[in-house]
Structure 1
Amino acid sequence: MLKLTLGVLATFFWLVGLIILCIGIYAEVERQQNKTMDSFFIAPAVILLLLGVSMFTVSFAGMVGALRDNRLLLKVFKWTLVTVVVLQLIFIIVSLLCQNKVLLLFKANVREGIKHYYDDLDFKNILDRIQVKM
């Protein structure tokens, strides 16, 4: 039963990772055609690409490991998930401890982005969305 559950969930997340990867590829092609966002690492398309590739790879290892009873792939899957959870906990703790610095950094970046509001289509859309929601 555990093998079946792990196999089904890993397959589901493998497909979700594939969908996110495809959306990231589409968004990156659109970003390159429109020449938006000069900074490469902040672009939402790049974040989607990295998330899709990592999710696809880790889920694929879990899926194949569960279906083939491959201990090595299951250990890689387990330790990758443990590492991600630990990194998330560290990020949460650091952000809570340095809340004022994070807020100041966020405000400085938003102010700098507002200066270049019309230069960056991605940032313009994100800022417009935030203003509509708030």
Structure 2
Amino acid sequence: MSGKQQHFKGPEVSCCVKYFLFGFNIVFWPEQLSATLKDRCELLGAAFLAVGLWAWAEKGVLSNISSITDLGGFDPVWLFIVVGGIMFVLGFAGCIGALRENTFLLKFFSVCLGLIFFLELTAGILAFVFKDWIKDQLNFFINNNVKAYRDDIDLQNLIDFAQEYWSCCGAHGPNDWNLNIYFNCTDSNPSRERCGVPFSCCVKDPAEDVPNTQCGYDVRLKQELEQQSYIYTKGCVGQFEKWLQDNLIVVAGIFVAIALLQIFGICLAQNLVSDIKAVKANW
């Protein structure tokens, strides 16, 4: 009888899938790991959360939580808080679930990705079916933020960026700035910006290195044709629609790529869960 022993190999957890899923989650949770996987983690999601909380601290929101609801418009800091929170939770579940072969965390990761994918798909379909309603909501959203333009510096910077990027002014035109107490044309308005628009509405002079922040003063007192020489007269809703049409392939490609990455992540997680269950069943 031969002294050699036969070894029967049972099901194994795929190291390739395991570490590929871990690598996939680097997008959500980048880590620097030693050989023993005990190095301190640097979390991208936590960084987003930290930036959001720092911005709120600078604006005094953390010392007065009720001020979150005081802003009449949209606070861009919410983007950092929400995105950072989602990235942190998903990254934690995916990375730790893959490294520790924890089926609960892996299932949680795949279910969350599936839910996000479903919500994105639903939003895309509804946006296509109810285009007019979406347009009305966008108009309402912009006008609300026009009213709150001076109430929050982050919102102000966001509106200025949008108006400069899309070469627009207001939701439908410069007269939408009548909604703002500083820019409206009423006789009772004592503001120096009365009947004006923010500097981001101004047509840029290539020769100017420094923006003229007073370029929009009194500009709406001029005739409409004369205004076109000084400011953008097209609304941001129409300009945004035009931008989407001009960049439809690029925008669609980005959404398809994100969807494929989400499906890929779900497949990796489910494959790893199946491997782990197969190994446990063989014990």
The answer to whether the superposition gives a TM-score over 0.5 is yes
Q: How many residues align?
A: 133
Is residue 41–residue 47 contact of structure 1 (8 Å, CA) maintained in 2?
no
- What residue is the counterpart of 1:66 in the other structure? 98
Question: Are 1:27 and 2:55 counterparts?
Answer: yes
Mark the runs of 5 or more structure 2 residues left unpaired by the alignment.
1-15, 30-42, 62-66, 167-283
Match 1:42 to one of 74, 84, 92: 74
TM-score by length of 1: 0.84
Task: Identify which range, 82-91 or 113-122, moves more after superposition.
Answer: 113-122
What is the alpha-carbon distance in structure 1 between the residues aligned to residue 28 and residue 151 of structure 2? 36
Find the structure with the greater CA-based Rg.
2
Structure 1, unaligned stretches of length 5 or more? none
Query: Compared with structure 1, are the counterparts of its residues 41 and 63 closer, same or farther at alpha carbon in structure 2 (3 Å cutoff)?
Result: farther
TM-score under structure 2 length normalisation: 0.43
Query: Is 1:8–2:23 an aligned residue pair?
Result: yes
Q: Which has the higher relative contact order, 1 or 2, with Cα contacts under 8 A spaced 6 or more apart?
A: 1
Q: Which residue type is aligned with residue 144 of structure 2?
A: E
Percent identity between matched residues is 29
Matched, 1:82 2:114: yes
Contact 2:22–2:99, Cα closer than 8 Å, also in 1: yes
Alpha-carbon distance between aligned partners in 2 of 1:48 and 1:21, rounded to the nearest angstrom: 6
Q: Aligned-residue CA RMSD in angstroms?
A: 2.3
Deviates more, 1:108-117 or 1:42-51: 108-117
Deviation at 1:19, TM superposition (A): 1.7
State the alpha-carbon separation in 2 of the partners of residues 19 and 9 from structure 1: 18
Distance 2:106 2:78 in 1: 28
Check the 8 A contact 1:13/1:56 in 2, yes or no.
yes
Give 1:102's match in structure 2, choosing from 117, 134, 150: 134
- Higher helix fraction (1 or 2): 1
CA distance in 1, matches of 2:72, 2:132: 27
Question: Contact (CA 8 Å) 1:20, 1:52: kept in 2 or not?
Answer: yes
